[in-house]
């Protein structure tokens, strides 16, 4: 069994004390001025651009990335980096087009946007949905996968791991968004530093095994020994085409999943909603640059693990019940690290898990308190009462996460796939509802309900359709591919990203038709305040954005 040494625990405890002490100092410093619920939930006006950017990355990168994406790196290689590099481009678009609309219309939660743009019915339906999604899918998967990773590295009892992570996250979350935002700066530092150390050790391990020491030599050997793992765009005959269907990662469904995640997600956008526009945009640009770096931490170690596995290094650690389990790649690499460094990487992984848990719990509390409790349960609630309810919601949400996460089969699906699968059923409809709500004044509330409900139903139909109808004919037009099922049978299935694109197009067309019919009947539409001047950026931001897009283009050219 894997264990940590006394030195590793010392490093981890130092990390714990630094984060806790700093969080408590921020909490005490800000407590006197913390008089409103918006200040508690959004840290209104107090987060700097670098705190916003660091908090975005700390909240996004967690066990499903550190463990799950390294697992995908082991299996399919660098192509999984599309989620990170396309996210960098998405952050730029969100900063230019989405954030100005939110800030101009004083929107602080996603249900508030829906209420303001459509009506209270749409907002309440989506508020309840988001609460269920965040608790049952996101919070539980982060908690469960995080506990598996911590248990695999330290040997600490699994139940103790899951409870410990939850308690630490609650401690951070109860301080409010200010504490989360500023402690996330430390979390990102440990995450990046520990991740880079792990990558360095993994790559040099490859170099040493082949008798050519050195990091750069290791990278060259990795490209030689796993040439198929360094292609970004898969051809149809690739075994992983169903996960990353060719050009869809550049011109198809990848944009929908990223724009929905980064632009229409309370969990993410909340970091920027309490700032002014230049600060929010600066934070998103900073996060975009950090995103470009992430594959070095969350993908390269997985490829190194693949090569080392082929060379029969830590072969037994990669097995689970006698079968290869790629999810063991990252924990196995951490167990190769020298003492003290292992503690640092362990702290980095724990930091990522705790940051994501804290951010998710805060978003759950924000939506419940401001969009359900204040609007439907106690409209006359005082600011002090709202903050208290938010803190109670954090504790209850985390408790539910602890209780239900072991029963969801997350370990069987893989955390990254678990989240993508269940959020992907609703993402296209939600994004259609948001994007038309932003930029088309004629979109009606009934059209929004259609996108939400019909989008979900259509996603389910397209997922289940291959089990009842042979979709081989769709191969001709590029919409289906053969997928090996768990029982070993081959079945034509529409790739996940292509399915999202199809549902999005159907949702937009449905919204357009319904809205035009209702407009002819004189249906009242609630518009947002949108001015083209809002989308102008500073020269500094424009230069930074061009650099980000230039780097992405260069990376895809190099690894096409």
251: Cα within 13 Å, side-chain hemisphere: 3
Nearest to 44 by CA among 362, 270, 274, 273: 274
Q: Is 294 exposed, middle or buried (0-12, 13-18, 19+ CB in 10 A)?
A: buried
Give yes or no for residue 477 having a pLDDT over 50: no
Q: What is the 3-state secondary structure (H, E, C) of 283-349?
A: HHHHHHHHHHHHHHHHCHHHHHHHHHHHCCCCCHHHEECCEECHHHHHHHHHCCCCCCHHHHHHHHH
Whether 67 and 149 have beta carbons less than 8 Å apart is answered as yes
Residue 321 · residue 328 · CB < 8 Å: no
Domains of the chain: which residue ranges?
Answer: 47-416, 425-527
Q: 534: exposed, middle or buried (C-beta count within 10 Å: 0-12, 13-18, 19+)?
A: middle
Read off the pLDDT band of 174 (50, 70, 90).
Answer: low
Is the confidence at residue 187, as pLDDT, over 50?
yes
What percentage of the chain exceeds 90 in pLDDT? Answer: 14
Question: Tell me, what's the pLDDT at 336?
Answer: 73
At residue 361, does pLDDT exceed 60? yes
Give 173: exposed, middle or buried? Use CB within 10 Å, 0-12, 13-18, 19+: buried
Q: What is the pLDDT of residues 227-260, one digit of tens each?
A: 889 999 988 778 788 778 888 888 888 899 889 8
Quickly state the pLDDT bin for 493 (edges 50, 70, 90).
confident
Torsion over CA: 202, 208, 214, 218 (sign): negative
How distant, in Å, are the alpha carbons of 187, 203, 272, 365, 430 from that of 98?
27, 39, 11, 23, 15
The confidence score (pLDDT) of residue 198 equals: 82
**What's 118's DSSP letter?**
T
- Helices 177-209 and 158-173, interaxial angle, to 10°? 140
CA 214 to CA 280: how far, in whole Å?
Answer: 40
- Take residue 493 and report the two structure tokens written for it: 């299935």
Mean pLDDT score, 98-116: 83
> CA-CA distance, 386 to 143, in Å (whole number)?
26
Round the average pLDDT of the chain to a whole number and report it. 79
Residues 279-309: pLDDT tens digits? 889 989 999 998 998 899 889 998 998 888 8
User: If we measure between CA atoms, which residue out of 57, 291, 12, 273 comes closest to residue 184?
Assistant: 57
DSSP notation for 471-511: -GGGGGGT--EEEE-TTS-EEEE--HHHHHHHHHHHHHHHH
Residue 411 has a pLDDT of 52
Residue 171: the pLDDT is 74
DSSP-derived letter for residue 184 is: H
Does residue 467 have a pLDDT over 70? Answer: no
Q: What pLDDT is attached to residue 88?
A: 94
Decide which of 357 and 58 is more confident.
357
When pLDDT is averaged across residues 195-201 and rounded to a whole number, the result is 83
pLDDT at 386: 82
What pLDDT sits at residue 321?
62
Q: Which residues pair with 481 in a beta bridge?
A: 493
Q: What are the DSSP calls for 21-35, one per residue? A: HHHHHHHHHHHTT--
Between CA 330 and CA 37 the distance in angstroms is 40
pLDDT value at 92 more than 90? yes
Q: Which of 21-25, 400-404, 418-422, 483-487 has the highest mean pLDDT?
A: 400-404
Q: What is the dihedral of CA 387, 390, 392, 397, to 10 degrees?
A: -170
CATH for 47-416 is 1.20.1730.10
Above 80 in pLDDT, residue 331? no
Neighbour-count burial for 329-346, b at 16+ CB within 10 Å, e otherwise: bbbbbbbbbeeebbbbbb
Asked if 284 and 91 touch (Cβ cutoff 8 Å), the reply is: yes
For β-strands 323-324 and 319-320, DSSP reports them as antiparallel
Place of tokens 């100005």: 100
Distance of CA 416 to the CA centre of its chain: 9
Q: Say how far apart CA 68 and CA 369 lie, in whole Å.
A: 32
- What is the model's pLDDT at position 173? 66
Q: Does pLDDT of 45 surpass 60?
A: no
Place 476 in a pLDDT band, splitting at 50, 70 and 90.
very low
Q: What is the pLDDT of residue 8?
A: 81
Number of H helices, E strands in the chain: 27, 4
- Tens of pLDDT, residues 150-161: 877 777 888 888
Taking the whole predicted model, whether its pTM rises above 0.85 is answered as no
How far is residue 245 from each of residues 470, 479, 498, measured CA to CA in Å? 19, 9, 7
DSSP-assigned beta bridge partners for residue 320 = 323
Greater confidence (407 vs 392) lies with 392
Kindly report the number of other CB atoms within 10 A of residue 470's CB atom: 11
305 touches 299 (CB < 8 A):
no
How do 319-320 and 490-493 pair as beta strands?
Answer: unpaired
Number of other CB atoms surrounding residue 124 within 10 Å = 17
Mean pLDDT of 86-91: 94
Give per-residue pLDDT as tens, 435-461.
998 888 899 999 999 998 888 898 888
- In angstroms, the first-to-last Cα distance of the chain is 40
| Amino acid 43: pLDDT | 47
Q: Determine contact, residues 68/327, Cβ cutoff 8 Å.
A: yes
Identify the residue whose tokens are 């997350």.
410
């Amino acid at each position: 069994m894997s264990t940590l040494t006394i030195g590793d625990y010392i490093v981890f405890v130092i990390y714990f004390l630094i984060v806790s002490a700093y969080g408590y100092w921020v909490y005490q410093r800000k407590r006197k001025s913390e008089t409103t619920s918006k200040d508690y939930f959004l840290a209104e006006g107090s987060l700097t651009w670098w705190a916003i950017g660091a908090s975005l990355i700390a909240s996004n990168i967690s066990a499903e990335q550190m463990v799950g994406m390294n697992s995908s790196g082991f299996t399919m290689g660098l192509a999984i980096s599309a989620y990170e590099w396309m996210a960098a481009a998405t952050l730029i678009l969100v900063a230019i087009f989405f954030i100005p609309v939110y800030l101009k219309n004083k929107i602080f939660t996603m249900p508030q946007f829906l209420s303001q743009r459509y009506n209270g019915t749409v907002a309440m339906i989506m508020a309840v949905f988001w609460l269920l999604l965040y608790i049952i899918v996101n919070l539980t998967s982060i908690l469960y996968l995080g506990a598996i990773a911590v248990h695999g590295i330290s040997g600490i009892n699994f139940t103790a791991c899951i409870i410990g992570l939850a308690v630490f996250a609650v401690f951070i979350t109860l301080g409010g968004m200010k504490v989360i935002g500023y402690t996330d700066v430390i979390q990102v530092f440990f995450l990046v530093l520990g991740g880079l150390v792990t990558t360095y050790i993994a790559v040099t391990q490859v170099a040493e095994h082949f008798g050519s020491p050195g990091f750069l030599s290791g990278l060259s050997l990795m490209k030689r020994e796993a040439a198929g793992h360094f292609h970004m765009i898969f051809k149809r005959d690739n075994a992983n085409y169903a996960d990353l269907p060719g050009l869809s990662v550049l011109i198809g469904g990848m944009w929908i999943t990223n724009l929905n995640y980064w632009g229409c997600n309370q969990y993410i956008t909340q970091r920027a909603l309490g700032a002014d526009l230049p600060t929010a945009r600066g934070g998103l640009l900073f996060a975009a640059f950090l995103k470009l770096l992430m594959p070095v931490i969350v993908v390269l170690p997985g490829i190194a693990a693949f090569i080392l596995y082929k060379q029969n290094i830590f072969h037994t650690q990669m097995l689970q019940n006698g079968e290869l389990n790629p999810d063991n790649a990252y924990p196995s690499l951490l167990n190769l690290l020298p003492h003290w460094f292992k503690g640092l990487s362990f702290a980095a992984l724990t930091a990522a898990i705790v940051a994501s848990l804290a951010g998710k719990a805060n978003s759950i509390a924000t939506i419940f308190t401001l969009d359900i409790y204040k609007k439907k349960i106690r409209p006359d609630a005082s600011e002090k009462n709202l903050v208290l309810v938010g803190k109670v919601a954090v504790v209850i949400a985390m408790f539910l996460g602890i209780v239900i996460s072991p029963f969801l089969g997350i370990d069987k699906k893989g955390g990254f796939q678990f989240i993508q699968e269940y959020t992907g059923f609703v993402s296209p409809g939600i994004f259609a509802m948001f994007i038309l709500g932003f930029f088309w004044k004629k979109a009606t509330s009934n059209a929004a309900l259609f996108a939400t409900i019909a989008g979900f139903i259509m996603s389910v139909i397209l997922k289940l359709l291959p089990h009842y109808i042979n979709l081989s004919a769709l191969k001709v037009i590029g919409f289906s591919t053969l997928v090996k099922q768990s029982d070993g049978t081959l079945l034509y299935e529409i790739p996940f990203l292509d399915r999202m694109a199809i549902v999005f197009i159907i949702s937009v067309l449905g919204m357009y038709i319904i809205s035009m019919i209702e407009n002819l009947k004189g249906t009242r539409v609630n518009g947002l305040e949108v001015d083209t001047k809002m989308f102008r950026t500073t020269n500094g931001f424009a230069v930074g954005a061009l650099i980000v897009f230039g780097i992405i283009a260069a990376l895809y050219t190099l690894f096409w």
